[in-house]
Amino acid sequence: MSKIQSVVRGVGGYLPERVITNDELSKTVDTSDEWIVQRTGIRERHVAAEGEMTSDLALHASRIALDNAGLTPADIDLIVVGTTTPDRTFPATAALLQHKLGITHGVAFDVQAVCSGFVFAVATADGYLKGKMAKRALVVGAETASRLLDWNDRTTCVLFGDGAGAMILEAREVPDDAPENGVLVSSLRTDGSHWDKLYVDGGVSATGTIGHLRMEGKEVFKHAVGMISDVIEDVLEKTGKTTADLDWFVPHQANKRIIDGAGKKLGIPEEKTIVTVDRHANTSAASVPLALWVASEDGRIKSGDLVMIEAMGGGFTWGAALIRW
């Protein structure tokens, strides 16, 4: 008997050129570097240039992931993009990315789970590969969150930034008793009763406008650690592992205090936790693959490592996945 594993072939990431530091922000809104660093750990964010769209950021990250995997766009037959800031209302950003990659085969679609978008996209692609519906998936988290921000609202505009990250997953048929590899298990959750704690006050059907991001920061903070721990514990239980087995914890990069809170609750030491939020703020669905990219480029995440990814965001949505790298 054989089984299919969804194996990681490569990762990539991209941050737009323009950097906005906390000090620069403090010239336009009533805030300070000290306040932002102390409350969030964020030092700077990147913002896409005029005309630079989510699919452009995704394209940069995808090309790097393909290069790292030694593959070309022709090798990809599934593209799943996690995004809440699509280029256009339709078609899907994944379809535009497919076009920019110069391919017309396979299937491409978006997943909308806000900050959890990449984790949901990984779980979706894993299901497609294991269900023999595709052979090689390009899984992307990409956002131009800057376009949803009210730049006069200091309670939200200091927290977010633009970016993209990408990962290639490949279906491999192996004997049933082959050692574990790739995406081992995922756990996803949604509870829409919390929708108005983190949302956009516009939309195609609601207002016919794009709208701005609105958030009850304290409420989000209150729920975040518990929800993150819930799905991580579920993933550990399903795989018979403990946090001591983890080589790396790669959390959603929203806020250093949430990351620290989750690490403390779960007993994951700081030295096993990848933190990049200081460099790019909360890039929503892009944050986990950006952190994966940074940590694999600098040699921390290596082949054979056990990596836990997790995210929580608007909806609320939350999810985790355990990956043998």
- Does position 231 interact with ligand ACO (CB under 6 A)? The reply is no
Instruction: Summarize the chain as % helix, strand, coil (round to 5).
Output: 40, 30, 30
- Does position 207 interact with ligand ACO (CB under 6 A)? The reply is no
Known catalytic membership, residue 282: yes
Binding segment for ligand ACO among 61-69, 98-106, 151-159, 299-307 (CB under 6 A)? 151-159
Known catalytic membership, residue 22: no
Least distance CB 183 / ligand ACO (angstroms):
22
Among 51, 89, 218, 240, binds ligand ACO (CB under 6 A): 218
Dihedral, CA atoms, 156, 191, 114, 325, nearest 10 degrees? 120
Residue 212 CA, chain-centre distance (Å), reads: 21
Is residue 36 within 8 Å of residue 42, measured between CB atoms? yes
Q: How many CB atoms within 10 Å of residue 212?
A: 18
- Does position 150 interact with ligand ACO (CB under 6 A)? The reply is no
Binding segment for ligand ACO among 45-53, 174-182, 213-221, 231-239 (CB under 6 A)? 213-221
190: left (phi over 0), alpha (psi -120 to 50) or beta: beta
Tell me, by CB under 6 A, how many residues bind ligand ACO: 23
Is residue 286 within 8 Å of residue 118, measured between CB atoms? yes
141 Cβ partners below 8 Å, 6+ apart?
81, 82, 83, 117, 118, 121, 164, 165, 166, 283, 284, 285, 286, 287, 288, 289, 290
First to last CA, the chain: 24
- Does position 146 interact with ligand ACO (CB under 6 A)? The reply is no
Given the residues 46, 252, 255, 280, the one annotated as active site: 252
Least distance CB 61 / ligand ACO (angstroms):
19
Among 47, 220, 259, 291, binds ligand ACO (CB under 6 A): 220
Residues in the chain: 325
- Does position 22 interact with ligand ACO (CB under 6 A)? The reply is no
Known catalytic membership, residue 212: no
Is residue 292 within 8 Å of residue 310, measured between CB atoms? no
Cα gap 214→226, rounded to integer Å: 22
Strand partners, 4: 173
Least distance CB 60 / ligand ACO (angstroms):
23
Residues 249-278 that bind ligand ACO (CB under 6 A): 252, 254-255, 258
Structure tokens at 80: 């799943």
Least distance CB 8 / ligand ACO (angstroms):
24
Least distance CB 144 / ligand ACO (angstroms):
16
Is residue 276 within 8 Å of residue 291, measured between CB atoms? yes
- Does position 224 interact with ligand ACO (CB under 6 A)? The reply is yes
Strand partners, 14: 164
Among 43, 214, 221, 241, binds ligand ACO (CB under 6 A): 221
114 Cβ partners below 8 Å, 6+ apart?
84, 198, 284, 285, 313, 314, 315, 317
Least distance CB 168 / ligand ACO (angstroms):
25
- Does position 282 interact with ligand ACO (CB under 6 A)? The reply is yes
- Does position 35 interact with ligand ACO (CB under 6 A)? The reply is yes
- Does position 225 interact with ligand ACO (CB under 6 A)? The reply is no
Least distance CB 70 / ligand ACO (angstroms):
33
Tell me the residue type at 140: V
Residues annotated as catalytic are 115, 252, 282
Chain residues that interact with ligand ACO, rule: CB under 6 A: 31, 35, 39-40, 115, 154-155, 158-159, 198, 215, 217-218, 220-221, 224, 252, 254-255, 258, 282, 312-313
